[in-house]
Amino acid sequence: MGDRELEIRRVRTIAEYHQCEELQRAAWGFSGDLDVVPLTQMMAANRAGGIVLGAFDTGGALRGFCYGFLGRNDQGRLHHYSHMTAVHAESRASGLGARLKWAQRDAALEQGLDLMIWTYDPLESLNGYFNFSKLGVIADTYWQDYYGPTSSVLHRGIPTDRLRVEWHLRSARVDKRRRGELGPLVVL
């Protein structure tokens, strides 16, 4: 089964939430459970305005997921805060991460939201390219050592600096990206 045949939908069962926990460990290389978002948090968020989407194969195995919750920015504007997207290693170059983000966008729009915010590691250049070129985000804030030390092997003892991005879900730039039109990156 190819990743195009996966069903992307809300996570529903305890077993599916456990798969989300396991995928976090695998995707982020967490050596302990302190950094894993637990099923209790994801389930509560999913039922109280948050969004937890999974990409499932026909056998019910989780190939990727995204998780976020409602938040307010510094001006009090309600938005969706996308906390995590994770994809199995063998599916990473398949476009599944993009499918999950666009599905997350659709779910946020269905809730009447037009803004999504998240952070990412600015040292991850492929993630930066994806965020800016493929999705059309804008960046407005840089935080040094945002999370402090984590158990992720990806961080290897380096500070967890993060770039905060905004995804204006109804903007012309984002609509162009959705249609596959990659505009030039603009640095101000």
CB-based contacts of 102-108 (< 8 A; 24+ apart in sequence): 102/178, 103/8, 103/53, 103/66, 104/51, 104/53, 104/66, 104/68, 104/80, 105/167, 105/169, 105/174, 107/10, 107/51, 107/53, 108/51, 108/80, 108/169
* 91 DSSP assignment: G
Inter-residue contact 185 to 133 (CB < 8 Å): yes
Q: Each residue of 89-144: pLDDT tens digit? A: 988 889 999 999 999 999 999 999 999 999 998 988 888 999 998 999 999 899 98
Q: What pLDDT sits at residue 148? A: 76
For the entire predicted model, the pTM comes to 0.90
Tokens of 29: 């290389």
Q: What is the pLDDT of residue 33?
A: 77
Q: What's the rounded mean pLDDT across residues 64-92?
A: 94
pLDDT for residue 173 is more than 80: yes
Q: How far apart are CA 18 and CA 76, in angstroms?
A: 33
Q: What is the pLDDT of residue 4?
A: 65
85 neighbors 64 (Cβ within 8 angstroms): yes
Which tens digit of pLDDT belongs to each residue from 57-66?
999 999 999 9
